Amino acid sequence: MERKELDEARIQGQAEISWYMFSFVDSMALKSVVELRIADIIHCHGVVITLSQIASCISDGLTSRDITTLVRIMRFLVRRKVFTVHHSSKEVEWKKILEGGSFSHYKIINIPDLLSIIEAKNEIPRELGERPNAMERIELDEARLQGQAEIWRYMFSFADSMALKSTVELRIADIIYSYGGAATLSQIASCINDGLTSLDITTLSHIMRLLVRKKIFTIHPPSDGGDPLYDLTHLLRWLLHNSEQTLAPMVLMENHPWQMAPWHYFSQCVKEGGVAFKKAHGCEIWDLASKNPDFNKLFNDGLACTSKVVTSVILLGYKQGFNSIGSLVDVGGGTEGLISEIVKAYPQIKVNTFDVWICFDNL
């Protein structure tokens, strides 16, 4: 592949890894909707309802901050097409246009990323209360089945994130890389097993099969007719632990129980206000980092790896700008990952980093 194609493939791989890293958010947002009984609220109001009406049914006297959390949940699920949203004023305008054009029957289809799409037919409308015909019943049944399939998909989206996390924890990308970019399941298993425990190769095969379906791995039969080989893809290269640019620490951080726990409190935040992290752990994130060295390291390592990725792009696109800089201050610089990369490329720059003290404990 040409250099440009390789770079594009790596960028696409990074985007895909980020997608699966945060797939669990789909499941958490869906869970919040069920806990808040939003579907029931909309149904009770006759299918169409405003956000303020939903909020008033969830709890009395929601603050603006609580509404913001609800807005984020709803906006996210609109993008996933679990909900649709439309502007009623636009419907009124379209209604006038269509009826003025002698369209006696029309349907407005609401799409999240567009204002509206109109299907119009010059037909006699169905009388109110008339039952759907056989064809319409089939269409309704198919729509319900499709809806069920979509709900199941989002319900189990967390499995993508967990499988990705397992891949990082087991260092599968590194193992395949050590075999020259392709390895059999038994070769991967032999490198995972330390000889002290019996490895469950069935569970390993389930993880690999799921990630092959997600195209994080590819699999092909070898020319000699032996066991199938798992290949190191451009996605998988982002999970190499010892790579200069890796997302492995970020995957471990975002999918750790410490970071996952706050997502279970989103519906509670809508009802009561407050910060999800504090509800889950009883303290703010910086307080937990100061009390728990393991969490502090996990958090800093996760942010540092993304800083390297971002910094490489900054250095590439801002070459001339750094030549004229004599001093640089990084506010909220954490463990100095970003600013240290800049200094490596431009050693003439004098730098200072400001952050809360716990970020520097392990430096």
Q: Is the pLDDT of residue 314 over 90?
A: no
* pTM metric for this prediction: 0.75
Determine, yes or no, domain membership for 37: no
The CA-based dihedral angle spanning residues 7, 9, 10, 11, taken in that order and rounded to the nearest 10 degrees:
90
Q: What pLDDT, on a 0 to 100 scale, did the predictor assign at position 107?
A: 63
Mean pLDDT of the chain: 81
Mention every residue, 6+ apart, whose C-beta is less than 8 A from residue 183: 175, 176, 229, 230
Same domain, 242 and 288: no
Q: What pLDDT, on a 0 to 100 scale, did the predictor assign at position 264?
A: 95
Q: What pLDDT, on a 0 to 100 scale, did the predictor assign at position 259?
A: 95
* 88/177: higher pLDDT: 177
Q: Is the pLDDT of residue 25 over 50?
A: yes
Q: What pLDDT, on a 0 to 100 scale, did the predictor assign at position 140?
A: 80
Same domain, 230 and 288: no
Cα atoms in the 13 Å half-sphere on the side-chain side of 355: 17
Final residue before a domain boundary, out of 187, 219, 246: 246
Determine, yes or no, domain membership for 136: no
Q: What pLDDT, on a 0 to 100 scale, did the predictor assign at position 265?
A: 93
Q: What is the pLDDT of residues 210-222, one digit of tens each?
A: 999 999 999 988 7
* 94/270: higher pLDDT: 270
The two tokens of residue 355 are 């952050």
Asked whether 73 and 266 are in contact (CB, 8 A), the reply is: yes
Q: What is the pLDDT of residues 149-177, one digit of tens each?
A: 999 999 999 999 999 999 999 999 999 99
Taking residues 20-34, report their average pLDDT. 93
Question: Can you give the residue range of the structural domain that contains 230?
Answer: 158-246
Q: Is the pLDDT of residue 337 over 90?
A: no
Final residue before a domain boundary, out of 201, 224, 246: 246
- Report the domain count for the chain: 2
Environment class of 40 (CB within 10 Å of its CB; exposed 0-12, middle 13-18, buried 19+): exposed
Q: What percent of the chain has pLDDT over 90?
A: 36
H-state helical runs in 81-133: 88-100
Determine, yes or no, domain membership for 90: no
Question: 């149904």: which residue's tokens?
Answer: 43
* Element housing 332 (H / E): none
| CATH number of the domain to which 226 belongs | 1.10.10.10
Query: Would you tell me how many other CB atoms lie within 10 Å of the CB of residue 110?
Result: 17
Same domain, 242 and 301: no
Q: What pLDDT, on a 0 to 100 scale, did the predictor assign at position 358?
A: 52
**∠ Cα 243 246 247 (to 5°):** 160
Taking residues 287-292, report their average pLDDT. 92
Q: Is the pLDDT of residue 282 over 90?
A: yes
Taking residues 280-284, report their average pLDDT. 95
Determine, yes or no, domain membership for 302: yes
Asked whether 210 and 159 are in contact (CB, 8 A), the reply is: yes
Q: What is the pLDDT of residues 193-214, one digit of tens each?
A: 766 567 888 999 999 999 999 9
The two tokens of residue 185 are 């399941």
Q: What pLDDT, on a 0 to 100 scale, did the predictor assign at position 138?
A: 81
